[in-house]
Each structure stands twice: as structure tokens, then as C-alpha cells.
Amino acid sequence: MSPPPLAALLAPLAGLALLLLLLLAGPWRRRTWRPRACSVDLRGKTALVTGANSGIGKCVAVDLARRNARTVLACRDPAKGQAALDEIRRAAGNPNVHLRLLDLSSMASVRDFARRFLAEEPRLDILVNNAGITGGKAQVGTPHRSSPSPGQGVPGPAEPGASQELLQAEEESTPNSSPTSAEGLPGAASVEEVKLLFATNVLGPFLLTNLLLGTLKASAPARIVNVSSFVHYKGTVNVKFLTGEEPPKNCSQAYYSSKLMNVAFANELAGQLQGTGVTVNSLNPGVVRTGIMRHFSWAVRLLYNVCSIFMKSAEEGAVSTLYCAVSREVEGITGKYFDSDCSLVLPSACAQDPGVTRKLWDALEQLVDLRNGGTE
Ligand SMILES: NC(=O)c1ccc[n+]([C@@H]2O[C@H](COP(=O)([O-])OP(=O)(O)OC[C@H]3O[C@@H](n4cnc5c(N)ncnc54)[C@H](OP(=O)(O)O)[C@@H]3O)[C@@H](O)[C@H]2O)c1
């Protein structure tokens, strides 16, 4: 394989250098709320965390399980999911933690997951949309992958066998089903990578949330939490990115925009859910030492690892998500964006503009064929 061009390496390196400067300059470790000091008990409640097998999602799931919630881990990889399930049950001392397979990049998988969830679970009190990727190559080779075709209706008909495969895989927990890892993620993303990124970070969570809205409303007061990022300020709500009509400049722009869309979608939904007892907020976890950069080139990962001594641990990075998911302080608060120190801050102006959020909502609704595909 030929080495990546210098320019492709320099763009992410410059981004990381900037990140390092910000880390050194900012009082980012300031924290006002401590999960361990919060006595909220979730006995009798059900929580669902996507991407719960690693990083922030795993720490969030451990905390929710410690609070005695029935905790459902929505993971795409059976082996990694099973390992996390064992670890979380052990760490939390709560056997009421369960693994369900979900590949957010496949709308068929999201529908299967929601169908099964609604059949099995009588309630849902907390939905944490945490799973996310920074680049798409990671999933090439994933058995459940069904990359949507933006512009042609993302979900399409349910893939025969996809759900069966998922459910069977859960039972069998095949050890070799890890996605093939990619070597290097150049600054310029391929169309496939971009489609995968938006499907995983935006379309999948949008569809999942909508399919579970009925049970969330019936369980109210309930909370929806979208894990976004401080980089959302640099994103654009461009629906043409979603349809593939216009490519983002590079992977960074795609990721930033997907994180902005997480906030915009949360704000739009918050307005729609006024009076239902279901709240929706989004947050920035901070700069957190997790596996999020694992698909970048070795050079970027090396720099990331050097910088990681200044970053938050995954447990620290889970704090603002938990603040939104369980704290008494956030009770009844909706349509807001919280910073990594749990302070309430204004998100990007785009995410607050009802014209923009509505337009995004309409595009997403059309792309996932929501009106024809709900399971409720
Ligand atoms: N780390 C940071 O500094 C940082 C900063 C701002 C925001 N965030 C956000 O925080 C969230 C969690 O990231 P993290 O830092 O904890 O990274 P991470 O350790 O890589 O966790 C990401 C999780 O998402 C899962 N996932 C990826 N694609 C999926 C798919 N198609 N279907 C279902 N699950 C999928 C991953 O599963 P696999 O293990 O199978 O890949 C993993 O469990 C993300 O939304 C990210 O954008 C992170």
C-alpha cells in the first residue's frame, strides 16, 4: 500500500496540534457535578445506551447500572458487546444489564432493533445516543453493514437475513466478527466513508429515537441525551451532505457537521415534545481519551497518544452525559446544550434557528422514510 500523501497527513496533524494548545490553555478540567455524589436511584427504570461497549458509552452504562437501572447496551459487535456486558455487570454489581445488537449505519438494523426492543421492553426512561464515528473506513467488512444510499431513501426494505444474522450473532457471540480496521484516514473522505459517517452519527440515531418515542412518552418523565461535541461549532447543517448531492470538504467537516446535526435534531425534537414529559438535550463530553481515533493513520494516532495525557479519562468524559441523563438539576430542562463541565452554554446559532432545525428534520424524516417505516 502506498503511503498517504503529505498534505493528507498534515491536515489532521494541524487539527491535533490546535487541540493540544486548547487543552493546555483552557480550564477544561473544571467540573461542577460528580456522578458519585448524586444519589439518584433508577430502580424500576430502563436505560438504553448506544455504543456502550467502549469509551464514554461504557462508563455511562456502568453508572446507570450502578443506579440499578435495567440497562440495555446497544452495540454493533457481538464479541465486544459480550465483553462489555460481562464487565459492566461485574463493575456495577447489577445482573439486570442486557446486550442487544444494533448497527446504526444500517437502517434495517435500527428497525430490527427497535422492533425487538418494543416487543421486549415495557418502558424506556433514558435513551443515550452516544455511538459515533469520526471516519467510515472502520466499518468496511462489518457483517451487518448496509450502507444507506443517500438520495434514494436511506433505509430501503429490510434486508432479509440481516436481523436474523444480528440476533443469531448475539446468541453465538462469534469471536472473529470485529470490523476490519482501516489504515489511515486521509483528510479527503470517500463518498462511502461520508455516507457511513452520516448514517452512523445522524440518520441511525434519528430513526432510532423516533421509533422509540412512543415508549419514551408512555414512560414519561423520560430523557433523551445526544452526545455531540465542541467541534459542532465548526459544522454546517447542509442537508446536501446527507443526500450525497454535495460532499463535505473532508472528514473533519463531515464529522463536525454530523455533531452539529445531533444538536439541531435534539433542539427540534425538544420543541415537538413540549408537554409530553420527554426531554431532549445534547452535550459536549470534552476531549476524552478513548478509541475514537483508532481509524486514523499511525502518525495521527501517535500524536493523539502523546496528547492524551492531557485529556479526560473516559470516566471523566462520561460526566456531562450522565448529568443530562440522571441529574436532578436537569429535570424538566429540554432543548439545551451542556458543556463538558456541565454548564449550560449556547450551541451554534444554526442549532438554535428553528428554520434550520425544521429543514434538517424534514430531510432526515424523508431520508429514513419515517412515515412508512415506524414500528408503532
Ligand atoms: N473522545 C472524544 O474526545 C469525544 C469528543 C467529543 C465527542 N465525542 C463523542 O462521544 C461519543 C462516544 O465516543 P468515544 O469517544 O467514547 O469513542 P469510542 O470509544 O470509539 O466509542 C464509540 C462507540 O460507538 C460505537 N459505534 C460506532 N459505530 C457504530 C455503529 N454503526 N452502530 C453502533 N455502534 C457504533 C463503537 O462501537 P465499536 O467498538 O464496535 O466500534 C463504540 O462503542 C461519540 O458520539 C463521539 O462523537 C467524543
Q: Sign (positive/negative) of CA torsion 185, 187, 192, 198? A: positive
The alpha-helical segments, DSSP class H, found in the chain are: 6-25, 55-66, 78-92, 107-120, 162-172, 191-198, 204-211, 213-218, 239-243, 251-272, 298-307, 314-317, 319-326, 349-352, 354-367, 370-373
* pLDDT value at 39 more than 80: yes
The CATH label, of 3.10.20.600, 2.40.340.10, 3.40.50.720, 1.20.1250.20, for the domain at 32-370 is 3.40.50.720
* pLDDT value at 139 more than 80: no
Q: How many CB atoms lie within 10 A of CB 354?
A: 10
Distance 165 CA to ligand 1 centre (A): 23
Between CA 364 and CA 357 the distance in angstroms is 10
Q: What is the pLDDT of residues 228-285, one digit of tens each?
A: 999 999 999 999 999 888 989 888 999 999 999 999 999 999 999 999 999 999 999 9
pTM of the entire predicted model? 0.83
For 225, phi then psi, to 5°, come to: -130, 125
Task: Please report, for the chain, the start and end positions of each structural domain, with discontinuous segments joined by +.
Answer: 32-370
For a mutational test of ligand 1's pocket, the pick from 290, 293, 305, i.e. the residue with the most ligand atoms closer than 8 A to its C-beta, is 290
Q: Which residues contact 116 (CB under 8 A, 6 or more apart)?
A: 100, 167
Residues within 6 Å of ligand 1 by CB:
50-51, 53-57, 76-77, 80, 102-105, 130-133, 200, 227, 229, 285, 287-288, 290-292
The atom number, within ligand 1, closest to the CA of 311 reads: 3
Which three three-digit cell numbers place residue 104? Answer: 446504526
What is the band of 30 on the pLDDT scale with cuts at 50, 70, 90?
low
What is the band of 309 on the pLDDT scale with cuts at 50, 70, 90?
confident
More confident residue, 356 or 6: 356
The answer to whether 232 touches 348, Cβ cutoff 8 Å, is yes
Distance 131 CA to ligand 1 centre (A): 4
Q: Whose CA is nearest to atom 1 of ligand 1?
A: 288
- Percent of the chain, pLDDT > 90? 65
Which three three-digit cell numbers place residue 367? Answer: 431520508
What is the band of 307 on the pLDDT scale with cuts at 50, 70, 90?
confident
Position 31 scores a pLDDT of 53
Q: Whose CA is nearest to atom 8 of ligand 1?
A: 229
* pLDDT value at 166 more than 70: no
Q: Is 337 a catalytic residue?
A: no
What average pLDDT is seen over the chain? 84
Which three three-digit cell numbers place residue 63? Answer: 453508572
Least confident of 8-12, 167-171, 349-353: 167-171
